[in-house]
Structure 1
């Protein structure tokens, strides 16, 4: 497909998403099935156009004076990809499979894109209803934080120390030009190409052998800060597909006992294969069984309980720009209620002197600090461990992370703007002995 034809396809798919109000991934899949002549490169390029458009949807609509799919894509090309009006006109020339020629109004707007008078939520490319929450956390930096969230994310890998070491993994993937992580000693970072296309890492021998896993550096740091120690008893209460379970096992050097649980058995399905590939031997998966309490025997016995809580995912907007515009106030309220219940439940598994680590991929205080404050008010035996202490788990890199991140009494918040990672909040609480 030509670049112009890819542009037309992106506009068509975005129109389908708007008309049917469904996830972009579903629309892309259906389009690919109906257009089998499009190769993998074409599909990746079209997806890149769509996701870049969603990253800059608010600002593109402001520049173009319209929220129509065509206007959003054209606005993205000038704001996100740096094309000028002439270059865009060559793509939208009305030729075969190309978008219709630019109108005089479109040419004028693309020639002088102006966001100077736009509201903060437009300049920051985030939903208007979330502005108050983001401003509460970031103050005048809310726009800058939003703009960082509207950029593309790199591809981060975690080296599995049960199978190898960072230098060996980096050598095995040298053809992908990975660099080291900024804060995590386990991280390798691959910068994506100009269109945001990621290399097929899951087909690499290093991945197939379990030597590396795909995991954002912020997620890696959250697990390290939680500090699962070798030989201890650890519960990953919201384990999902097992990303942090795998890292915990490696940090524990397969020593001690690690329990993995999730309230939804479907989310646990990929874990078993991942555990085997990673060479993990100290994990016991506790799948839910109806009304039975499968964790009853763990109550009051855990050295560490991790709550990687379900949340709005505002910290992952770089990777999931579709979710940015689909989240609603009702979803936030639902997540906050779920988090409070999970945290209260998690506290009962912590032994005297043990720790409770609370992690979200959210930037909102409602899901982060407020949840910690509420639990501490109800559970007087617990207190928040100061981030100045928790970052010591990172050794010499800990102080640098503390200086870069946003630190509060409840915990530490990483963001794309501050730490170059996805947005992650980490709080560690300790129960009195």
Structure 2
């Protein structure tokens, strides 16, 4: 029998939605070869912690680390303690430091690929903050990642964006940090749609000018840079930057709107992946990359194309609330027992938004257990006061 559920619609009504069959994505049996693919992983909060959920959120370490093992089992790498893990939106530096240490240890135990965010979020931006303060904060976090044995993702810094007077200040900070790293790092350019505090990064609000400043830093330190993650949701700009990178420096797409095309690439090259959406669509991402390895572009497109509308929905403005959709999908699929988030961020999206996410996930074949997903969707609707919402089989 077909499964159906009543869902709220934008016009304040209810509509019966008939679910399709879940896709049966084959697990990765061999390493993914053609692309490097990091899923920026979310964290699971501890819903039973008797603390202030905003000021003192607690992490469920068992569930959080179990999810990383799930990603590794699919052949994906883990980008740890990034913005998907609510860095700067619920996950503070002490918790991120512990997360990095624990996750790198777990990666080592199974041979999983991992890279970890090192930023300056222990330093609150303010008029008294200097460039040397920013450097010291970066040095502290880079040391934590290196001592744990992880690769550094050098995250964009809110404190640097606040105190830098121009591109020369960015060059000064990055020169100092890159001169000290033990192995090549992944740089990180997060656009203001992901974090408004990063507007004007690299010393200019004009993206063409900022691009030139960024490329100059990369060119100066190419031997110390593995690649750069770009999250600007600008396909043409990413391709243009990719074609200008020095030999050996990779482009890791952070474009959660255009990832399918950018990863596939063109006659001039392709992007690797460091994506928050890969947390949510991990089985599809793994299967698509396996198809790409096999040269089966038709299957690659068939798998990823239905995930793009889902991703565009999850990352709709305000883009920085995409974490809510990522965690909601993990909850629907049974990877955690609750839909609670650090800082109470589960409330950041409307119930209508979540209902549409449910539909798009189903259409992408990403509800692994439809009965469980319907059961949990019904609970979320009931908590929103939608008592008429029901489940039926037809």
TM over 0.5: same fold?
no
TM-score (norm 2): 0.31
Highest CA radius of gyration, 1 or 2? Answer: 1
- Which structure has the higher relative contact order (CA within 8 Å, separation 6+)? 2
